[in-house]
Structures are given as C-alpha cells and as structure tokens.
C-alpha cells in the first residue's frame, strides 16, 4: 500500500504502518530542531496523534503524505516554541 492508501484506509493496521514508515524521520527532524530528545519524543507523539485525527482531510493533490506529516510536525514545533517563549 502507498502512504496515501494507508491514510485513506481506516483499518486497524493501516495507520500503524504509516507510523512505522515515518516515525524515525519525524523524530529526527524534531530532535534536530529542538536539541532535546524528550521534547522531540513528545512532539512526535503529538504529531502522529494530530495526523491520526486529521487523516481523512489529507488530499494527495496537495502533496505527498510525508510532506503533509512534516507540516503537522512543524506546526507542533512552532506551538512548542510559542509555549516556551511565553513561559520564560
């Protein structure tokens, strides 16, 4: 199955496979961006939770699933940065 097919399929194993394919890439991106393994792990979990909720809204004509997912990760990272600035 392609990534787009995995997102479209609401079977119990489809999103788990999508996660397996992309978790390392997302976590690495967030680790490089934050420099903190614990924060990166939390943001990775938030990213995939948001993706799971939003997967029915993914549209292939707007881009690849991996890029869509990294967009979600970037939003989570920006949210974290805003929270960090406001609590400092």
Domain edges within the chain: 3-86
pTM beyond 0.95: no
Residue 12 confidence class, pLDDT cut points 50, 70, 90 = confident
**Is residue 7 over pLDDT 70?**
yes
| pLDDT digits 0-9 by tens, 60-75 | 999 999 999 999 999 9
Q: Who contacts 80 (Cβ-Cβ below 8 Å, separation ≥6)? A: 34, 39, 43
Q: How far apart are CA 5 and CA 56, in angstroms?
A: 11
| Topology classification of domain 3-86 | Rna Polymerase Sigma Factor; Chain: A (1.10.1740)
pLDDT digits 0-9 by tens, 32-86: 999 999 999 999 999 999 999 999 999 999 999 999 999 999 999 999 999 988 8
Nearest alpha-carbon partner for 72 in 32, 35, 25, 37: 25
Rg (alpha carbons) of the chain, rounded to whole number: 13
Is the Cβ–Cβ distance between 40 and 70 less than 8 Å?
no
């Amino acid at each position: 199955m392609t990534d787009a097919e995995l997102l479209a399929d609401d079977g119990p194993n489809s999103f788990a496979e999508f996660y397996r394919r992309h978790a390392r890439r997302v976590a690495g991106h967030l680790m490089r961006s934050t420099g903190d393994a614990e924060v990166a792990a939390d943001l990775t979990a938030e990213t995939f939770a948001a993706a799971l909720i939003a997967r029915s809204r993914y549209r292939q004509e707007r881009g690849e699933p991996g890029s869509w997912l990294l967009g979600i990760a970037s939003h989570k990272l920006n949210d974290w940065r805003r929270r960090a600035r406001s609590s400092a």
